[in-house]
Structure 1
Amino acid sequence: MTTSNTSRLRQVTAAVIGNALEWYDFIVYGFLASIIAAQFFPGADDYSSLLMALATFGVGFFMRPVGGVLLGLYADHKGRKAAMQLIIALMSVAIAMISFAPPYAAIGVGAPLLIVVARMLQGFATGGEYASATAFLVESAPAEQKGLYGSWQLVGQCLAVFAGAGMVALVTYLLGSDRLQAWGWRIPFVVGLLIGPVGLWIRRYMDEPEAFVEALNRQAGPKPSLWQVVREQRRGILTCLGLTSVGTVAFYVVLVNMPQFAHKQLGLPLDAVLSVQMLAVAVMALVIPLAGALSDHLGRRPVLLGFTLLFSVMVYPLFAWVAAAPSIERLLIMQLLLCSAIGGIFGPSPTTLAEQFPIEVRSTGVAVGYNMAAMLFGGFAPLIATWLTKVLQTPVAPAFYVLGACALALLSILCMRDPYVPKKAAAPLMV
């Protein structure tokens, strides 16, 4: 392997591992929402407590645009490396707050307040992670492999889902229900906290992408302000928002919320559901880089359009099929099919979003569009899915929310800029 290839592999590893840690804590919170509800949000009944816990899950997303904008500006001004180091440090503090927060029974109203503050800090940090890591990966990539390199951003998220599901399934199996609810739920958070220093160490030795350094050297005059970016990059921001809608809704409805949904609404055993989820996410993690590489050959729009259409025509029939006769076997088939389609959407998405903006304002532009979509469509997706299911009295209700996001994404795909011209010579698929 050449020195150049070794350096690029180190760059990808730093972004993926750090990104996986950032999302691990978000995923674990979603999987353990019902237990956290009982510990920190006592209510008149289990449904009320769960809604409060899911609402707190969504509260973090109000901070995502704030963190995305401030950390995006920081990344564009001070560098991708500095921003990514700061982000992982902030997330480690938030994980520590949740790991050791006393329950409501011990300190009363102070307990849910601690969780809310931790979730807001998580939201702030994660708001800057996607844009900074995406810009970092795309700018570190060879010209003919930007789709492949950008796709590793979402492979990191898959690793987070896989690790979160595996850890929750393990502690559930080893401890049983009583000990899990008493104290065992803290173990997955503590594991994430222990990984934090590793992520900090890895990101300390990243190299700033040459493309970014060259862009800074070419730039004359003061750096663009937030308002200047928003005014001059309206089209890119709106495209980014629309493209992100389907991915963020699918991520939280099909991945994060599915274990609780299948367990609470369909009556399936939680440990078996988590095992299904891990297998489906593993398949998705394989599809993502393949779809990213395919976009390097065919262009971003054809790949995004094909997989988004496939996902939209499958989601409702599969939800209805599983709800008609709930079983682990049917759930497995549904999750494998849906996660494969989501992987096809995820593969080209990071690079597509980055390509909507010039390098000088890329992190800020992606942060604004992506985090607005995450706040509007994704943060409250578990809450909306749970509420729709109860109001409409049908377990297929979450599919309606997903279909709405698919429609918005399809419109954005048709309107987006696709500056990539596929190369005649096939690029290798290896990093």
Structure 2
Amino acid sequence: MSNFKKEDIIIVDKKVAKQTVLVTSLGNAMEWFDFGLYAYLAVTIGKVFFPEIDPSHQLIYAFATFAIAFIARPVGGFVFGMLGDRVGRKKILSLTLIMMAASTVFIGLIPSYSTIGIAAPILLLIARLIQGFSTGGEYAGAMTYIAESTSDKKRGFLASGLEVGTLVGFAASAVLVTLLTYILGPDKMVEWGWRLPFLIAGPLGFIGFYLRSRLEETPAFKAMEEAKEDDRHRASLKEILTHHWKPLLICIGIVFFYNTALYMVLTYMPSYLTQELGYGETKGLVFSLLVMILIIPIVLGMGYWSDRIGRNKIVKGALIGNILLGIPAFMMMSSSNSLVVFSGLFILGSMLAAFQGALPATLPSLFFTKVRYGSLAITYNVSTSLFGGTTPLVIAWLVSMTNNSMIPAYYLIAACIIGLVVVGFFVKETAGRSLRGSAPTVEDPSEIDEILKNPDKALWWKEEMPVEAAVEGKYNQNVPANVK
């Protein structure tokens, strides 16, 4: 370590880092606007594409079609993730955005069941599969891109901006659906109004593509590319599974509780309030929309504090909060008082905001630069497909089978108990530390002297490198040879 030099440290430009976060988050917002439309129109879509199904089961069929997209997510995660580690993060993120926009517009053009019969839900399934395929590379890529473009000391705060994009996308879709439902009314929404939000996705997709195409590649990926000599350094699935099985399992565990909370609050709650608790469609959407808007500053605040007190403390606090407050929150939502109902929903939203503030910086830090995009995309989407995207479907089915409106609370608590074990015993704190496989990253040159005084702390991750990787120098290629 004595040869560790000043030149080895990556210095990022503050302005470029903020621009990167803004554009990536904006693109993510557009992606989740497209994805959120289906969730907020689930009740209407059930009537349009499954009119011959008993009305009490239409929501289940609609959410089954929502869940079917998650079958394609692991495939998309594998394809786009591996490509992202080979050709770069920027190119793949531009491609996923265009695919999502195109498939969303296609949904808006599909004739109804009354027009073409069984072909309508089949075409809907195909479009949802394409959406899932593109989303498989989007979110993991966005997390990777931001994590590799920001300084070690501000990664939590800046990465939380990605989740602001998610909330803005969901909120925008909720606003649009709410306004259309209010203006047109339920009958016209079923007749033709539901198509309008999907058709807006086209122009938004091209705007996002233009903005992303103007971004630079991440400093960490560029440094790794400059150090490569040949294709021996390109990651393979076998390599990932052999050398990185432990962080893969940890990532799956984190994503399990994270996406259970996310999809429950952002996609299931509007339908839960409408279908199970008897609130009007507009009222349920308005409550969810207000919660999403109000938790945006909480997300940023949690990201800010995660850089200072540690990400694990923030996440553990939210897990314990859900375990203790999950049942009271759902009991509040069963009240006849609108303020009490909203307060219950806001409690769940606040716990989710803590996850959203800390986890976008935690998840990319689990993996080395060479395999980060691929490993994160594969594990994130496998876990999301098995546990996150199926949350609305499973809960709707369980509530239907048991007639127990508290089922969602029990489901959330169980997920958070598992999450507490995963985070408490297996996740290392990475706040203020360099990414695995990368040299320390700073935005202020004055930080360099402090790093040079303790190079072992700066390159803390070297102890975790597999023996084979340490010998061949595979996983820390963006650190100059004199520190390997």
Question: Which bin holds the TM-score, normalised by the shorter protein?
Answer: over 0.9
Measured in 2, the distance between the counterparts of 1:364 and 1:247 equals: 20
How far residue 97 of structure 1 moved from its aligned partner, in angstroms, is 1.1
Point out where structure 1 has 5 or more consecutive residues left out of the alignment.
Answer: none
* Residue 229 (1) aligns with residue 236 (2): no
Measured in 1, the distance between the counterparts of 2:235 and 2:218 equals: 20
Local SS of the residue matching 2:63: helix
Give the letter aligned to residue 363 of structure 1: Y
Judge conservation of contact 1:76–1:360 (CA < 8 Å) in 2: yes
TM-score under structure 1 normalisation?
0.94
How far residue 422 of structure 1 moved from its aligned partner, in angstroms, is 4.8
Among residues 175, 178, 183, which one is paired with 1:174 in the alignment? 183
Measured in 2, the distance between the counterparts of 1:406 and 1:417 equals: 15
Measured in 2, the distance between the counterparts of 1:255 and 1:40 equals: 23
- Identity among equivalent positions (%) equals 31
Among residues 56, 59, 74, which one is paired with 2:68 in the alignment? 59
The ranges of structure 1 where at least 4 consecutive aligned residues each deviate by more than 4 angstroms after the TM superposition are: none
Measured in 2, the distance between the counterparts of 1:307 and 1:385 equals: 21
How far residue 347 of structure 1 moved from its aligned partner, in angstroms, is 0.9
Measured in 1, the distance between the counterparts of 2:49 and 2:267 equals: 20
Give the letter aligned to residue 256 of structure 2: S
Measured in 1, the distance between the counterparts of 2:323 and 2:154 equals: 28
How far residue 272 of structure 1 moved from its aligned partner, in angstroms, is 2.1
- Residue 6 of structure 2 corresponds to which residue in structure 1? none
- Residue 23 of structure 1 corresponds to which residue in structure 2? 32
Question: After superposition, where does 1:7-406 map in structure 2 within 5 Å?
Answer: 7-220=16-229, 221-323=232-334, 325-406=335-416
Superposed CA offset, 1:253-306 (max 9, x none):
122111111011111122122222111111221111211121111122111111
Judge conservation of contact 1:60–1:121 (CA < 8 Å) in 2: yes
Local SS of the residue matching 2:260: helix
How far residue 140 of structure 1 moved from its aligned partner, in angstroms, is 0.6
Measured in 2, the distance between the counterparts of 1:414 and 1:216 equals: 35
Q: Against the structure 1 CA distance between its residues 95 and 44, is the aligned structure 2 distance closer, same or farther, given a 3 Å change threshold? A: closer
Superposed CA offset, 1:98-136 (max 9, x none):
010111111112111111001000001001111110010
| Between 74-83 and 302-311, the greater mean CA deviation after superposition | 302-311
Judge conservation of contact 2:362–2:430 (CA < 8 Å) in 1: no
How far residue 419 of structure 1 moved from its aligned partner, in angstroms, is 4.8
How far residue 326 of structure 1 moved from its aligned partner, in angstroms, is 3.4
Measured in 2, the distance between the counterparts of 1:306 and 1:215 equals: 36
Measured in 2, the distance between the counterparts of 1:355 and 1:255 equals: 26
How far residue 342 of structure 1 moved from its aligned partner, in angstroms, is 0.9
Q: Please identify the structure whose Cα radius of gyration is greater.
A: 2
Judge conservation of contact 1:244–1:370 (CA < 8 Å) in 2: yes
Measured in 2, the distance between the counterparts of 1:249 and 1:98 equals: 26
Local SS of the residue matching 1:355: helix
Judge conservation of contact 2:37–2:173 (CA < 8 Å) in 1: yes
Give the letter aligned to residue 260 of structure 1: S
Measured in 2, the distance between the counterparts of 1:422 and 1:33 equals: 42
How far residue 193 of structure 1 moved from its aligned partner, in angstroms, is 2.5
Measured in 2, the distance between the counterparts of 1:174 and 1:160 equals: 21
TM-score under structure 2 normalisation?
0.84
Measured in 2, the distance between the counterparts of 1:143 and 1:79 equals: 21
Give the letter aligned to residue 264 of structure 1: Q
Measured in 2, the distance between the counterparts of 1:210 and 1:119 equals: 34
Aligned residues: 423
Judge conservation of contact 1:266–1:326 (CA < 8 Å) in 2: no
Superposed CA offset, 1:65-98 (max 9, x none):
1101110111110101000011011101111110
Measured in 2, the distance between the counterparts of 1:225 and 1:362 equals: 12
Judge conservation of contact 1:98–1:189 (CA < 8 Å) in 2: yes
Judge conservation of contact 1:298–1:422 (CA < 8 Å) in 2: no
RMSD: 1.8
Measured in 2, the distance between the counterparts of 1:411 and 1:26 equals: 31
How far residue 228 of structure 1 moved from its aligned partner, in angstroms, is 1.1
Give the letter aligned to residue 424 of structure 2: L
Q: Against the structure 1 CA distance between its residues 236 and 331, is the aligned structure 2 distance closer, same or farther, given a 3 Å change threshold? A: same
Judge conservation of contact 1:237–1:365 (CA < 8 Å) in 2: yes
Judge conservation of contact 1:299–1:418 (CA < 8 Å) in 2: no
Measured in 1, the distance between the counterparts of 2:187 and 2:430 equals: 55
Point out where structure 2 has 5 or more consecutive residues left out of the alignment.
Answer: 1-11, 434-441, 444-484
| Between 300-309 and 212-221, the greater mean CA deviation after superposition | 212-221
| Between 59-68 and 382-391, the greater mean CA deviation after superposition | 382-391
